[in-house]
Structures are given as C-alpha cells and as structure tokens.
C-alpha cells in the first residue's frame, strides 16, 4: 500500500482541535483569575499581567486556529510534493 497524497482537509481538523484546546486553557485562566488571581502570578511569574477575557476566549483561539491551520497546510503541501517522487509504502500481512 502506498501513501502518495494527504488530503488538505486534514489540516482543518488539527486547526479546530488546537482552537478548542486553547479555548479550554483560556477558560481555565479566566476561572482562576476570578477565584484566586495570585495563583496565576505563582504559575506564570511575577511579571504576569491578566490579558482579559476577550483575548483569552476569542482572539487567542482564533490566532491558534489560523496558525495551526496554515502550518498544517504547509506541511501537507511539502509532504505531497515529496511523496510524488518518494511515496511511503508498507505491506500489511494477515
């Protein structure tokens, strides 16, 4: 079996997954800031400044989605370009 090409829609899955993970991190930071803000200073250092809920819950997940999606597209493009000449193959035995 030869893997000659990866579908570009695979990058969308990883972009959405990264946005969801970043949203969860943002929710955790917002919840922590509401309950005990000194924990964030202990975790992130003395120079930590709370960026705000809008950045953590909207802007950051969108930026992570875009960057992961573009990185995935670029990686798939490189793989497809190389796989035209050198496809990955493996044999599956029963």
- Is 59 part of a structural domain of the chain? yes
CA distance 68 to 66: 6
% of the chain residues with pLDDT over 90: 51
Is residue 94 in some structural domain?
Answer: no
pLDDT at 92 (0 to 100): 66
Is position 74 within any domain?
A: yes
- The tally of domains found in the chain comes to 1
- 76 assigned to some structural domain: yes
Query: H-type helices in the chain, by residue range?
Result: 10-35, 37-44, 53-54, 60-83
Q: What is the pLDDT of residues 3-35, one digit of tens each?
A: 778 888 889 999 999 999 999 999 999 999 999
Write out the residue range of the structural domain in which residue 31 sits: 2-89
């Amino acid at each position: 079996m030869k893997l000659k090409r990866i579908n570009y829609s695979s990058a969308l899955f990883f972009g959405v997954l990264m946005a969801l993970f970043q949203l969860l991190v943002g929710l955790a930071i917002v919840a922590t800031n509401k309950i005990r803000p000194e924990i964030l200073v202990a975790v992130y250092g003395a120079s930590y400044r709370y960026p705000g809920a809008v950045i953590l819950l909207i802007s950051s997940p969108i930026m992570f989605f875009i960057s992961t999606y573009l990185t995935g597209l670029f990686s798939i493009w490189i793989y497809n370009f190389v796989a035209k000449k050198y496809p990955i193959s493996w044999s599956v035995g029963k």
